[in-house]
């Protein structure tokens, strides 16, 4: 792999892996980082510094996404109570949030833009990566919206923002330790590491508030979630792009909601769309 990508302007055509909305943001690699990724040089600290500078420019201060190699960035986090650090994202024949354990990453369905770790207590994973090993025949494009666009769209509705900054119950998807609550209580919009952040997956919130004795969602909470989801679903803000096989994308999980378009695969299950995902806590 010999490039990084940041920023996601425009849209893409289905079935088309070249060009797409990620093309404008490819960054040719050079110097210590290019050497490290291309030839496995023995200067990881120099490579780390160059990569962190790109993250500062394109993830923290930019659009929130950078495509490249992420192992220099920090600590990989477990993604479930079994301690899984690399999760295989593929269609396992379930609906989003079906049953007690199924997750978004187990289905082929689209929409439902969210952050990773919505089922887990705070602090949220700061970054997550997706490595594309195979693409779907149809669909499977990534959809992204930045928190700053959401807050700007809701700036004339302070009551909605205030409600989203209060606590909701999120379903834990069976990952709670034995004897603990099946929900985690946390706000949708919050602060982490001195900056604004978001955690969201509507179906997990609805399932969380369906657990007795958790109270039903109030009228104000339902209105706030409906308003948030209307902003997310609008055509004005989300950006779309499609990863190519072999590309690794690094995302700011505190600022970006992400989802995908519904996808269809070949009957041959050995050739299904397959992504590998990690969660990362930033080093330093």
Instruction: Give the pLDDT confidence score for residue 267 in this predicted structure.
Output: 61
Domains and CATH numbers, the chain: 3-92+106-148+235-282 (3.60.130.10), 157-232 (no CATH)
Cα distance between residue 185 and residue 199, in whole Å: 12
Instruction: Give the pLDDT confidence score for residue 47 in this predicted structure.
Output: 78
Question: ∠70-20-8 over CA atoms, to 5°?
Answer: 55
Instruction: Give the pLDDT confidence score for residue 46 in this predicted structure.
Output: 82
Q: What's the pLDDT tens digit per position in 112-138?
A: 799 999 999 999 999 998 887 777 777
Q: In sequence order, what DSSP letters do the residues of 245-280 get, joined into one string?
A: TT-EEEEETTTEEEEE---B--S-GGGS-EEEEEEE
188 has a pLDDT exceeding 70: yes
Instruction: Give the pLDDT confidence score for residue 160 in this predicted structure.
Output: 98
Q: What's the pLDDT tens digit per position in 14-70?
A: 333 344 555 655 566 667 777 766 665 667 778 777 777 777 776 666 555 544 455
13 has a pLDDT exceeding 50: no
63 CB-side CA count, 13 A:
21
User: Beta partners for 245?
Assistant: none
Is the Cβ–Cβ distance between 203 and 97 less than 8 Å? Answer: yes
Q: What's the pLDDT tens digit per position in 56-104?
A: 776 666 555 544 455 567 787 888 888 888 777 766 666 555 555 555 5
162 has a pLDDT exceeding 80: yes
In the three-class reduction of DSSP (H, G, I as helix; E, B as strand; rest coil), residue 50 is classed as helix
Instruction: Give the pLDDT confidence score for residue 136 in this predicted structure.
Output: 73
């Amino acid at each position: 792999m010999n490039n990084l990508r940041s920023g996601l302007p425009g849209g893409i055509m289905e079935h088309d892996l070249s060009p797409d909305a990620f093309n404008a943001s490819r960054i040719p690699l050079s110097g210590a980082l290019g050497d490290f990724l291309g030839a496995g040089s023995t200067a990881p600290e120099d490579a780390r510094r160059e990569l962190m500078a790109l993250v500062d420019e394109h993830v923290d201060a930019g659009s929130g996404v950078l495509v490249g190699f992420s192992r220099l960035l920090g600590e990989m986090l477990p993604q479930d109570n079994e301690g899984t650090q690399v999760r295989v994202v593929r269609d396992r024949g379930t609906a989003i949030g079906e049953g007690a354990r199924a997750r978004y990453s187990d289905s082929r369905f689209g929409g439902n833009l969210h952050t990773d770790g919505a089922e887990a207590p705070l602090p949220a994973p700061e970054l997550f990566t997706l490595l594309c090993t195979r693409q779907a025949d149809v669909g499977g494009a990534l959809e992204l919206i930045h928190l700053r666009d959401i807050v700007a769209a809701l700036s004339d509705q302070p009551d909605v923002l205030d409600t989203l900054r209060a606590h909701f119950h999120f379903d834990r998807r069976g990952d709670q330790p034995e004897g603990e609550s099946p929900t985690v209580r946390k706000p949708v919009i919050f602060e982490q590491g001195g900056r604004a952040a978001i955690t969201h997956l509507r179906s997990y919130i609805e399932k969380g508030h369906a657990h007795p004795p958790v109270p039903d969602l109030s009228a104000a909470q339902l209105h706030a979630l409906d308003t948030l989801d209307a902003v997310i679903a609008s055509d004005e803000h989300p950006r779309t792009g499609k990863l190519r096989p072999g590309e690794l994308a690094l995302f700011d999980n505190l600022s970006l909601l992400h989802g995908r378009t519904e996808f269809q695969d070949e009957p041959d299950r050995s050739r299904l769309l397959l992504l590998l995902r990690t969660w990362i806590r930033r080093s330093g």
